[in-house]
Structure 1
Amino acid sequence: MNAAPLPFLPDAVIFDMDGLMLDSERAITDCMERAAAEAGHALPRSLWLSLVGTGEQACREILAARLGEPGAMAMLDRTDVLYEAMVEAGIPHRPGIVGLLEWLQARGIPRAVATSTRRPLALRKLRRAGLLERFDAVCTSSDVEQPKPAPDVYLLAAKRLGVAPARCLVLEDSPAGVRAALAAGMLPVQVPDLVEPDAALRKLGHRIVPSLAQAQALLEAAAGACRLAP
């Protein structure tokens, strides 16, 4: 893990959603595995993990290459049915998210969501989880031309918050999200969930912490350094 001190207290913090704030990466992966098994497809766990953090179109293309277009579409349709039931029940929070959001709000630091999920589903998931009202902006793959790892959704979030990208800190769990944040010129802190960063990702030199509580500790230290500065 790389938990070097932050170089500054950010003017805004932008959050990924799935796997970072909500335990939805695990939920959707379980749904895909179940749908594949029901259809008689024996696919490795590594395939599902490779889809974490990618956009919907990329997922469809990867699965179509393995199963053919009809098989992939049928499996994804069944996945949607299974996942819809989980969304309606309310996807659990990742540990530490509420405390971190409260800390930022108390200090007047703007907050946005930047997610690869389509807008209607993203809003519903955040609302059902009781998190929607804690954000100043929600940016989704519906709002941009290119999903992560392209920087589009992060640049849009900065624009909507009125903050320069270089002054934004991004919290991400996935490799695609980290690359998107770096491409946007932002400061990423990765909190891995299902996928641990490999050697190639670690070479990017970004900060990696084991939990949102550790990410909050970095922010608290940066805030303390600001108070001590002459």
Structure 2
Amino acid sequence: MKLDFPIAAVLFDMDGLMLDSERAVLRAWRQAAREHGHDFDDSVLHAMVGLHDRLCRAMLLERFGPDLPIDAIFARTEALYLGRIEAGIPLKPGLTELLDWLDAVRLPKAVATSSTRQRAQGNLRSSGLLPRFPVSVCGDEIEQPKPAPDIYLKAADLLGVAPAHCIVLEDSEPGVQAALAAGMTPIQIPDIKPPSTALRALGHRIVGSLGQAHSLLREAVWQRTCCLV
């Protein structure tokens, strides 16, 4: 479980990892689908967690057929979601303490989210996180979305660090797969959807909170500092 390599940067997913926003997204999906005569049950909603919009579209059309009013449902979902987050998005417990510590030990950090730049900027701004992340990569800025490694490789490149020395904090299965494909070390903090048996078999680190992830990082940095003394 210990992190036994030099950590050069920590890369953060956004929804469900830093922001308690996934539930609002899924409620918006469910309502929008019902308004257009369809039922997105939990299996459908959970399958979309962590996926880029393009992959969500493909999955929904495959499941419900080409007659699904996909554009109307997407537009209504976005409107409902924006309405629900106008008052601000709650931060996940332990996030502020983790960010403060990373700043204190001068570990670079970045956001790598499947959300579009417009949505990500809005969410980070309304939650007060925007000034804390000078580097971010969004789902509409890369060729292949999660679970492909593109978004994390681009974030590492912008920070000027080697992928092998990056920690990735993720809540979703596609995000963990993307981190592993990028040659990085993911720490998963599951949100709505628990890790599947197949995902657990990958052998990555899974913890129950950002506080626990913080403890792993702090121990790794402390041990390396002691070794250099």
1:84 Cα offset (Å): 1.3
Distance, in Å, in 1 between the alignment partners of 2:67 and 2:156 is 37
Equivalent position amino acid for 1:13 in 2: V
User: Which residue is 1:76 aligned to?
Assistant: 74
Gap runs ≥5 in structure 1: none
Distance, in Å, in 2 between the alignment partners of 1:38 and 1:142 is 27
Moved over 4 A (4+): none
Tell whether 2:158 aligns with 1:155: no
Contact 2:7 2:221 in 1 (8 A): no
1:44 Cα offset (Å): 1.7
1:69 Cα offset (Å): 4.6
Tell whether 2:3 aligns with 1:28: no
Aligned residues: 227
Equivalent position amino acid for 2:179 in 1: A
Contact 1:110 1:135 in 2 (8 A): no
Equivalent position amino acid for 1:7 in 2: D
User: Which residue is 1:125 aligned to?
Assistant: 123
Distance, in Å, in 1 between the alignment partners of 2:39 and 2:142 is 34
User: Which residue is 1:174 aligned to?
Assistant: 172
CA RMSD of aligned residues (A): 1.3
Gap runs ≥5 in structure 2: none
Cα deviation 1:93-120 (Å, max 9, x = unaligned): 1111111111101110001000101111
Do the aligned partners of residues 56 and 50 (structure 1) sit closer, same or farther apart at CA in structure 2, a change above 3 Å counting?
same
Tell whether 2:65 aligns with 1:61: no
Distance, in Å, in 1 between the alignment partners of 2:203 and 2:210 is 19
1:90 Cα offset (Å): 1.5
Identity of aligned pairs, percent?
51
Distance, in Å, in 2 between the alignment partners of 1:69 and 1:104 is 48
1:39 Cα offset (Å): 2.6
Distance, in Å, in 1 between the alignment partners of 2:75 and 2:29 is 10
Cα deviation 1:159-187 (Å, max 9, x = unaligned): 00010000110000000000000000001
Distance, in Å, in 1 between the alignment partners of 2:162 and 2:225 is 22
TM-score by length of 1: 0.95
Match of 1:140 among 135, 138, 141: 138
Distance, in Å, in 1 between the alignment partners of 2:39 and 2:152 is 36
Contact 2:11 2:169 in 1 (8 A): yes
1:37 Cα offset (Å): 2.3
User: Which residue is 1:213 aligned to?
Assistant: 211
Distance, in Å, in 1 between the alignment partners of 2:97 and 2:196 is 29
Contact 1:14 1:170 in 2 (8 A): yes
